Amino acid sequence: MNDAVRSKIFEEFKDMITTESVVGEPIYLGDATIVPFVDISFGFGTGQSKDCHEGGAGGGKITPTAVLIMKGERIELFSIKNATANNTIDKMLNLMPEIISHFRKGKKDKTLLEEQVKTDADIDIKE
């Protein structure tokens, strides 16, 4: 791989990877907001033989690493990279009982939850 090609590849990656690509879209559940964060990794290799045969390969991966949970005045950042039931997961679930009920009820009840949130918001606005 010549220097011009290598420079062009890294220039494209620099333009592609932005804060929007490592900070996910917020997820709203009741009065809580969850914002996911990811790590992005890329690797490349090239080679050439004496016969001028050239080859190359590349790969990439995106790994979830953390979530930011905002609920009322409380804001917490949880690492999920090495999460276990005894640390991060338990803390997150204690903070977010709505998550447990939301995923237990499934997609069918999602509409009911959204309607309840809207109703609660309407009541808050009227008060």
Phi/psi class of residue 72: alpha, beta or left (left: φ > 0; alpha: ψ in -120 to 50)?
Answer: left
pLDDT tens digit string along 69-112?
888 888 888 887 776 666 665 666 666 666 556 556 555 555 66
For the cut 60, the answer to whether the pLDDT of residue 119 exceeds it is yes
53 pLDDT tier (thresholds 50, 70, 90):
confident
11: enclosing H helix or E strand? helix 3-16
By CB atoms closer than 10 A (0-12, 13-18, 19+), residue 15 is exposed
Kindly report which listed range (11-25, 29-43, 98-112) carries the lowest average pLDDT score: 98-112
**pTM, entire model:** 0.50
97-105 and 110-126 helices, crossing angle to 10°: 140
